[in-house]
Amino acid sequence: MTIEDADAGASSPLEAPSRGTSATSTAKAARPHIPIWQETLILLVIAVLLAVVLKALFVQAFYIPSESMEPGLVKNDRILVQKLSYWGGGGPERGDVVVFEDPGGWLGAGDVQGPDNPLAKALEKIGLYPSGGHLVKRVVGVAGDTIVCCDAEGRISVNGTPIDEKDYARPGEIDQHDCYGPMTGNCSWTVGPIPKGTVFVMGDNRAHSADSTVHMCLEGETDCTKNPYVDTDLIVGKVFALVWPLSRFGGGDGTDAFDKVPDAG
Q: Residue 169: which CATH number?
A: 2.10.109.10
Domain count, the chain: 1
Q: Residue 154: inside a domain, yes or no? A: yes
User: Within a 10 A sphere around the Cβ of 37, how many other Cβ atoms?
Assistant: 8
Flag whether 10 is in a domain.
no
Residue 51 belongs to some domain of the structure = no
With respect to residue 6, please indicate whether it lies within any of the assigned structural domains: no
The answer to whether the CB of 79 falls within 8 A of the CB of 136 is yes
Residue 175 lies in a domain: yes
| Residue 141 covered by a domain | yes
Q: Is residue 265 part of a domain?
A: no
Q: What is the pLDDT along the chain (265 residues), one digit of tens a residue?
A: 444 444 444 444 444 455 555 555 555 555 567 777 766 766 666 666 665 555 555 678 788 888 889 888 888 888 888 877 776 667 899 999 999 988 888 876 555 555 566 665 565 555 555 556 788 999 999 999 999 999 989 999 999 999 999 989 998 888 768 899 877 778 889 998 999 999 999 999 998 888 999 888 877 777 788 889 999 989 988 888 888 787 887 766 667 899 999 988 7
Task: Look up the domain containing 133 and give its range.
Answer: 60-251
Residues with catalytic annotation? 68, 137
In a domain, 103, yes or no: yes
Contacts of 59 (CB under 8 A, 6+ apart): 80, 81, 82, 83, 127
